[in-house]
Structure formats: structure tokens, C-alpha cells
């Protein structure tokens, strides 16, 4: 069973940056396409960015040019570099397999963007 542990969130002002990490254990991380998801209060969880097992990336329009997804298969770790953060990015961020997430979501990491 894949287990996921997110970290790196925090509180920043608009225009700030954060780097999220997701440590995956259990099943073989490197064979799976992965994604970062987020859930803001009162909203459904949404996909933010994806990366294939080979490193090809895709971004939702609302983060394109600001966020960068990457992975280190040797460390079983997924990353999300977030620049020029805006209040609309405030959410709990999760990592999971893409396109079919496993049911065992991690605890997520809170990102708060506020002046």
C-alpha cells in the first residue's frame, strides 16, 4: 500500500514562494504518474499539476508559469515549487497517484497566502 506524507506548507504573503515535498513509501513510486491536488475550504479537491513516471509535466491554467512539479525517484519524493503565490492558492495540498488516486490520502500540508 502506497503511503504519502506531505510537508513544506506554511503562511506567506502574496508574491511569496514555498516548496512542497511528498515522501512516498510502499509501492514502487517511480512506476506511477503522480499529481499534486489541493482543497480550499468549502471547495472540492482539485488537480493542480501532474508528472509522468518519465518526467513529463502538465499544469492547470491557474498555476501555469508559477508552479513547477518535479520528482526524485531515487528519494521517492515528489516536489511542488510554488512562486508568486496568491490568496486564491490558499488550500490544503495533497499528493497522490494520477489519474486514479489511491483512497489512502495523506494528511496534506496547509498553504495560506495572506497579507
CB 62 within 8 A of CB 73: no
Q: Give the separation between CA 35 and CA 78, rounded to whole angstroms.
A: 9
The 10s digit of each residue's pLDDT in 71-87 is 999 999 999 999 999 99
**Cα-only R_g, the chain:** 13
User: Of 17 and 2, which is predicted with more confidence?
Assistant: 17
The 10s digit of each residue's pLDDT in 45-59 is 999 999 999 999 999
SS3 89: helix
Q: What is the DSSP letter of 100?
A: S
Please tell me the predicted confidence (pLDDT) of residue 30: 86
Q: Give the separation between CA 66 and CA 89, rounded to whole angstroms.
A: 11
Please tell me the predicted confidence (pLDDT) of residue 26: 66
Instruction: Please give the helix or strand (H or E) that residue 79 lies within, else none.
Output: strand 77-82
Computed from CA positions of residues 112, 101, 58, 21, in that sequence, does the dihedral angle turn out positive or negative?
positive
Mean pLDDT value of segment 81-106: 96
The 10s digit of each residue's pLDDT in 7-47 is 999 999 999 999 999 999 867 788 899 999 999 999 999 99
Amino acid at each position: 500500500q502506497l503511503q504519502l506524507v506531505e510537508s513544506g506548507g506554511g503562511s506567506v504573503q502574496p508574491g511569496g514562494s514555498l516548496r512542497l515535498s511528498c515522501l512516498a513509501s510502499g509501492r514502487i513510486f517511480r512506476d506511477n504518474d503522480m499529481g499534486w491536488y489541493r482543497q480550499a475550504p468549502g471547495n472540492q479537491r482539485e488537480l493542480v499539476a501532474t508528472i509522468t513516471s518519465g518526467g513529463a509535466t502538465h499544469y492547470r491554467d491557474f498555476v501555469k508559469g508559477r508552479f513547477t512539479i518535479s520528482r526524485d525517484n531515487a528519494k521517492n519524493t515528489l516536489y511542488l515549487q510554488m512562486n508568486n503565490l496568491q490568496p486564491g492558492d490558499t488550500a490544503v495540498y495533497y499528493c497522490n497517484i494520477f489519474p486514479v488516486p489511491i483512497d489512502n490520502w495523506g494528511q496534506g500540508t496547509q498553504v495560506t497566502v495572506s497579507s
